[in-house]
Structure 1
Amino acid sequence: MTMTYEYGGNLYINVTNQCPNACEFCLRQNSSGSLYADNLWYEGTEPTKEQILADLKTRDLSKYTEIVFCGYGEPACRWDDMLWLAKSLKAMGDYTLRVNTNGLADCITGRNAAPELKGLMDVVSISLNAPTAEKYDAVCHSQYGPAAFDAMLHFTAEAVKVVPHVVMTVVSTMPAEDIETCRRICEGLGAKFRVREYIEK
């Protein structure tokens, strides 16, 4: 059971394998789960927040640039557990915490979730992935349908208010004109913009 793993000078927390999206470019669709660690798929029950914290305590957390909630699923699917872990980590030391998310926490939790990140997350990286709701739905296949796009934009706008660094990302394989439209959307929300390379495994 791989609860945490190292990559690129950071420590990643494999919070969950659950995700409401089935993005066509996601590693979950193209990998066995062993690109960054032995196996990121959980067999059966996922670990408790206490088990994850115990795993974190076995590591020298001070040596990592960032501690990242990511793993092989959408961290917001265990939103309350993630916040509990973030609070626990902040109580242990002055660590830089980041969450990589699809921005659908509002849909998942049923509430305006981003304000709850205040004082806990230092960086939020949100997958924008498309310039319109229709294209987002076609690529991400969210269980929330086209409404997921506006929910993600709302989450981003709220996160910008309370998190020091908010980044929106797209995959490099997108058409250039779509990337430019996404850049304008991102800047309009007050977030930074990054094009990430497509990883095929």
Structure 2
Amino acid sequence: MSPRRSYDQYCSAARALDAVGDRWTLLIVRELLGGPRRYTDLHADLPGVSTDVLASRLKDMERDGLTTRRRLPPPGAAYVYELTGRGRELLPVLQALGAWGAAGLGERRPTDAVRAHWFALPLLRGLREAGVGEGLVEVRLDEGAFHVWPGAEDRPVYGDGPAPEEPDARLSLDTGTCEAMSRGVLSLRDAVREGSVAVVGEGLPAKLLREG
């Protein structure tokens, strides 16, 4: 394991960047906010990262107390990486970065990779702005489906694929609408109001969105 690099500054921002300022680290956190992931899954959903860099970042994150590694019981018998409590505390950091970066997102470029669950954090922000702070919400996009728990604290905040149980609300929207919300030019509440997002369900999240 390589020695830890440091800015050697007595400043909390500098100390934070000592731990998460390296390239790819916060994007690994983004992936692990969806729950435990195998190395191969992380590599597949982080297009552009080399195997050496990914392995190095995971070791650094484990050393810094952001992640842990454990072996799944049979028949899985594979190692998975997951966030510690301190690692999960980076959720508002990523949300703030996403909100700040929305203005520079622009239109999707032909070279831009995309995964359905990458829209989970912007959608989570939109749900909370609409007053949805609890429940299970399934989201269906052109690229696939994911689900989010707006009130999650000690569990993953989102998951890839359909909801594991009957959700409190199902949202269906096209890529253009989701990209507009990610850029901050359209709120979830307004998208529901104008019919760009279809809401199905009788749970509190569905009712709040329809009544908004």
TM-score by length of 1: 0.29
TM-score by length of 2: 0.28
Larger RCO (CA within 8 A; separation ≥ 6): 1
Compare CA radii of gyration and give the structure with the larger one: 2
